[in-house]
Amino acid sequence: MKQVIRSGFLALLTVAATGIGVALAGDHRYTAPSPTVKAECGSCHIAYPPQLLPARSWRALMSDLEKHFGTDASLDPQTTATITAFLEQNAGRERSFSVQPVLRISDTRWFVHEHDEVSSSVWKSPKVKSPSNCAACHSNAEQGDFSEHNVHIPK
Amino acid sequence: MHRSPIFPLVAAVAFLVTASAAAETPADFQRSFETSARKEAAGFAGFSAQRGAAFFKTTHGREWSCASCHTQNPTAPGRHAKTDKPITPLAPVANAERFTRPDKVEKWFRRNCNDVLGRACTASEKGDVLAYLMAIGK
């Protein structure tokens, strides 16, 4: 009997946790990038939704664009300021307690949780290559639409 | 007040001159690189498409060459070596937008030379690469 109660309680907890996860993730639609953000951030990768990192992470990234994940993504000061302001204004809330800001969206606990059912073979697929390649599976990623309906994992 | 009938014409010419200063041609960039290359080396003897092709297609002590993203055929679309994001063709014959905007040309040579060579490119190197790209399809 005790066992039944315990498993029932666990099941309830799971349902509650899933519910919270969905509520937090919302409908997976985010702020579309401004024209400057789309043109500049979007030339090497998709212009990632600003909500996916907190403001201090964006500030850290934008202050070191010469060394941007191994490549030089430097911009003129005016464009840097315009983009930083957009990212700060639309940033997600801080969820990390670490001293160092999280710099990769794919390192956030949220990202790991959302993608926990994606097998390692998908990440290694030549059509995906890297977790930075959102558009490989999220067909409308460029427009900030990450809804589950528009996920197509390449074969 | 009587405004001279020539005023609209002057305004139109002024607009066209301003617009053409912002939008340049590959040949304009080539001339500008040549002026700088002459200052870099007194013995400058012109750009070489052949040298530019070799420069473009080989690595320079680091992981990437220009061709890593732009492919060995600059008339074809490329892909970012890391993120796989599509890149429009680099050769002006295949993409009329290339080498028309000074801000873009400056930005991408600055970034990409730093990634490929770990330093800025010389005017001579830029001119050779542009000579190669301009020679394609001619």
Q: Which domains does chain B have, with CATH numbers?
A: 25-135 (1.10.760.10)
- Centre a 10 Å sphere on the Cβ of residue A111 and count the other Cβ atoms it contains: 16
A143 in helix, strand or coil?
helix
**pLDDT of amino acid B13:** 55
B131: amino acid identity, one letter: A
Q: Specify the range with the lowest mean pLDDT, choosing from A51-55, A124-128, B94-98.
A: A124-128
CB A86 within 8 A of CB A48: no
Pick from B80, B106, B108, B117 the residue to mutate for testing the A interface (most A CBs within 10 Å): B80
CA–CA dist A40, A37 (Å, integer) = 5
**pLDDT of amino acid B79:** 94
First-to-final CA distance of chain B: 55
Could you give the residue ranges of the DSSP H alpha helices within chain A?
A: 2-25, 35-40, 55-62, 77-89, 109-114, 120-124
**pLDDT of amino acid B115:** 97
Q: Is 60 exceeded by the pLDDT of residue B21?
A: no
Question: Rounded to a whole number, what is the distance in Å from the CA of A101 to chain B's nearest CA?
Answer: 22
Model pTM score: 0.80
Which residues of chain B lie closer than 8 angstroms to A43, CB-CB?
A: 85
Measured at the alpha carbon of residue B69, what is the angle toward residues B68 and B72, in degrees to the nearest 5? 60
Q: What is the mean pLDDT of residues B97-110?
A: 97
CB A147 within 8 A of CB A28: yes
Which residues of chain A lie closer than 8 angstroms to B82, CB-CB?
A: 44, 69-71, 129-130, 132
- Asked if ipTM goes beyond 0.90, one says no
Q: What is the mean pLDDT of residues A102-127?
A: 93
Q: Specify the range with the lowest mean pLDDT, choosing from A45-49, B14-18, B104-108.
A: B14-18
Q: How confident is the model at residue A60 (pLDDT cuts 50, 70, 90)?
A: very high
The rounded mean pLDDT for chain A is: 85
Residue B9 backbone phi and psi in degrees, to 5: -65, -45
**pLDDT of amino acid A25:** 46
Q: Is 60 exceeded by the pLDDT of residue A84?
A: yes
A100-109 contacts, C-beta under 8 A, 24 or more apart: A101/A54, A101/A56, A101/A57, A101/A59, A101/A60, A102/A53, A102/A54, A102/A57, A103/A57, A103/A60, A103/A61, A104/A69, A105/A48, A105/A52, A105/A53, A106/A131, A106/A132, A108/A52, A108/A53
CA–CA dist B56, B121 (Å, integer) = 12
Question: Rounded to a whole number, what is the distance in Å from the CA of A7 to chain B's nearest CA?
Answer: 44
Of A43, A45, A72, the CB nearest to B114: A72
The rounded mean pLDDT for chain B is: 90
Residue at token pair 């679309």: B77
CB A124 within 8 A of CB A86: no
